[in-house]
Amino acid sequence: MNSDPHTRSSHTRPIAGTRNAVRARVPLRLGLAGGGTDLSPYCDDFGGAVLNTTIDRYAYAFIERSTDGNVHFVAPDVGMDEAFDPQDINETVLDQAKLRLHAGVLVGISRRFSVSVEPWRITSFVDAPPGSGLGSSSALVVALVEAFVSLLQLPLGPYDVAHLAYEIERIDLGLQGGKQDQYAGTFGGMNFIEFLAQDRVVVNPLRLSSRIRNEVETSLVIAFTGVSRASADIIAEQRSGLLKVTEETMRNMHRLKQDAHDMKNALLRGEVAHMAEILNRSWEAKKNTARGISNPLIETLYGQAMADGAIGGKVSGAGGGGFMMFIVPPDRRVQVIRGLNGAGAQAGGVHLVTEGAETWLS
């Protein structure tokens, strides 16, 4: 953990008075192990642990002055543009706005920091469809928060930004989910993240040699199933199992947390084949935490990839659709991608990125 939580790790703020339009981008993430253990009440009672890495797909947010005196929420990638009088930006707009993430961040920032709402045009787009399983919604919230932090010169460090994004998404807006996505996107890179009692989070960046990093990156294949899924129902069922403290759910959650530790150790040693074994084991445990995590399409694509030479795989995120990820011997990479595409997925390689949230001026 940074000793000074207000230290900015990835950018400096613009000088007051020089701002024209502020832009922000936040990388999406792949969850390698431990996903689900960042959910309350499990992480509060037992402590959660996840291993994730950010990739070369991003959520973007832009803020500039509007020309008509209204606040505009704009998302061209989903074809939405809505306008509100600045005086109407309060808690009630959270139920009126179709772009609830934009509204939630603006209301959350203005309420927490006593900010007067100006006629802003707030635009966003994401390099992945909604329900991708790459943490896109949380990355977008972080991007919106980061843009306002830069615009308003708010004294927030990366831990503060990630926690604020979590509060806005999970508490203010009541959207189901865990905590890893906000921290992954804010910090960027390959991180082992611990979720402890009393809302404490520790982000441990992993230093990899170029040899290990290149081998892992070359061994990764991701594939969009073509189905965007709503994770809320799956996460709600996982939470229900945790609240009931069913023996099976708890056993599988403990397994997922141990897999995060094991995956971290295998990664640091560069044991990619062992990482694949853990990925498969973790996938089996995850499927037992809630119904709907897997389905016939997912099982078909998994089987196709394994038949073509993949040695490990799972769904990224809550499950039910979105992206799948596979560990593949590099010499079988092309065959696996071709096979997945032939089976109806949209497959390809992916690049790992080290930078987290970034802002700049247009």
Phi-psi region of 210 (alpha: psi -120 to 50; beta: other; left: phi over 0): alpha
From 181, 259, 262, 308, active-site residue: 181
**Any catalytic annotation for residue 56?**
no
| 295, 277 Cβ separation under 8 angstroms | no
Tokens of 54: 């950010």
Task: Tell me how far CA of residue 122 lies from CA of 36, 63, 170, 201, 301, in angstroms.
Answer: 31, 5, 21, 30, 38
Query: What 3-state DSSP class applies to 356?
Result: coil
| 249, 242 Cβ separation under 8 angstroms | yes
| 188, 135 Cβ separation under 8 angstroms | no
Q: How many residues does the chain have?
A: 362
Q: Give the distance from CA 103 to its chain's centroid.
A: 19
Catalytic residues: 181
